[in-house]
């Protein structure tokens, strides 16, 4: 079975309505997880720790979507 890797990360945003980080060097990398369920659990815990800070936000990135080199129009194919 294929691994469906997910990255959980977050930090302080320039504005609560944007996805731009104030300082990329201070992004909190929570971790890489083998499935969405475990990534969601980690995301929820990180988000709850920062619930009082409106400028902090956490995300789940679907790394497995970036790994599919054979798929037509994969993100890495567009770079070439």
Kindly report, residue by residue over 14-63, the tens digit of the pLDDT.
998 989 999 999 999 999 999 999 999 999 999 999 888 889 999 999 98
Domain carrying residue 51:
1-13+33-80
Answer whether residue 23 is part of any domain.
no
How many Å apart are CA 6 and CA 32, to the nearest integer? 5
Band (4; pLDDT cuts 50, 70, 90): confident
Say yes or no to pLDDT of 70 above 70: no
Q: What DSSP designation does 73 have?
A: T
Answer whether residue 62 is part of any domain.
yes
- Residue ranges in the chain assigned as alpha helix (H): 36-49, 63-67, 75-79
pLDDT for the residue 67: 67
Q: Is the pTM of this model over 0.85?
A: no
Give the chain's domain count: 1
Query: Who has greater pLDDT, 70 or 66?
Result: 66
């Amino acid at each position: 079975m294929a691994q469906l890797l997910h990255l959980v990360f977050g930090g302080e945003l320039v504005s609560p309505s944007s996805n731009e980080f104030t300082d990329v060097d201070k992004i909190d990398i929570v971790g890489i997880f083998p499935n969405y369920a475990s990534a969601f659990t980690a995301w929820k815990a990180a988000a709850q720790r920062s619930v009082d800070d409106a400028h902090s936000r956490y995300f789940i990135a679907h790394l497995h979507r970036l790994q599919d080199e054979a798929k037509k129009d994969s993100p890495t194919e567009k770079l070439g």
